[in-house]
Amino acid sequence: MKTIVVKIDPNDLDEAKLKEVAKIAKDGGLVAFPTETVYGLGTNAFNEQAVRRLFEVKQRPPDNPVSVLISDAKQIERLAEVNETAKKLIKSFFPGPITVVLKAKPNVPNLVTAGTGKIAVRMPDHPIALKIVELAGVPLATPSANISGKPSPTKAEHVIEDFMGKIDAIVDGGETGIGIESTVIDTTAKPPKILRLGAIPAEEIEELVGKVEIAEAPSMKYTHYKPKAKLIVVFGDSRDKVLEKISKLVEEYKKKGLRVGVGVRKIDKLIGADLLIEIGEDVEEYARKIFDTLRKFDEVDVGIVEGIKGRGIAKAVTNRLVKASDEIVEV
């Protein structure tokens, strides 16, 4: 199949081109586009055949529900029953990097909810994503635009790598701003439960709605964010010790004749890797670049990352690294 690639400036929207993409999505085609978190792969949420194709192309397990993007809070009425907790979250964080899980209405296809009776709803804070959903005139079932299990896409090149010739359209709107996915919170649970740590910290949510539970342990049912390389993440309170350990690991694997890639916050010490990537000292920059770094590790046999820990978005990044890793090293 032919995939059209449309380049759009988020600050100067070409509505005619976006109207064409939105029509493809409304009519049941698959279209990829940027959000403020990562690129999404969307189609008409009410078209069961289209949603089935989305699952097949993405290679997504059928028991893993997809989120649904809206452009206006009024669209939720077509999809879900809104409780008081959800109302507070929607008022404070929509549009934004949060996905709210609600009780689904009967008209929502079973594939979208994966038979759970619940629906995950999000209003993205990105001009391209909002305009496509608005022009489509229907909510769009939109998981991340990557083959299931691979690192999430933060650039159009990542989507092209996974889906060129497999989907109908890709909107290239440049690099995404946040770089990790939205926070997902189940408001049907008591207390509300954060199912996925993300761009909005749990602390901010608790200030608004009170105590929440966090599903801390990464699910091992499916692989997440995996590069082709073996991935080792090194954590530690002393950066000198972390870099020393990384250097030793590089030496150890290179002696075995393997190509080694390394991602560090700042390149300030010589590490003899085949591929050396500076991810960023600032936690927001690190979050923005981590998935791109993991994808670059497809070029090597072993990838080693200087991990980060902390509160807020740092905690969400740690969560992704743990899910992606084959080995965790603490020094």
Give phi and psi for 63, each to the nearest 5: -95, 15
User: Is a pLDDT exceeding 90 seen at residue 215?
Assistant: no
CB atoms within 10 A of CB 289: 19
DSSP-based three-state secondary structure for 306 = strand
pLDDT confidence of residue 221? 58
Residue range 43-84, pLDDT digits in tens: 999 999 999 999 999 999 999 999 999 999 999 999 999 999
Q: How many Å apart are CA 220 and CA 239, to the nearest integer?
A: 29
Angle at CA of residue 272, ends 314 and 303, nearest 5° = 45
Q: Which of 183-187, 227-231, 300-304, 308-312 has the lowest mean pLDDT?
A: 308-312
Which range, of 74-88, 119-133, 215-229, 312-326, averages the lowest pLDDT?
215-229
How far apart (Å, rounded) are the C-alpha atoms in residues 143 and 59?
Answer: 12
Chain centroid to Cα 247, Å, comes to 30
Per-residue pLDDT at 175: 97
Write down the pTM of the prediction. Answer: 0.95
* pLDDT 10s digits, 271-316: 889 999 999 999 999 999 999 999 999 999 999 999 999 999 999 9
The whole-angstrom separation of Cα 195 and Cα 118 is 13
pLDDT band at 218 (very low <50, low <70, confident <90, very high): very low
Which backbone phi and psi does 8 adopt, to 5 degrees? -130, 135
Give the pLDDT confidence score for residue 9 in this predicted structure.
Answer: 97
Confidence of residue 222 (pLDDT cuts 50, 70, 90): low
Could you tell me the domains of the chain? 4-214 (3.90.870.10), 230-330 (3.40.50.11030)
Question: What does the DSSP assignment read for 149-215?
Answer: TSPPP-SHHHHHHHHTTTSSEEEE--S-SS-SPPEEEETTSSS-EEEE--SS-HHHHHHHH---EE-
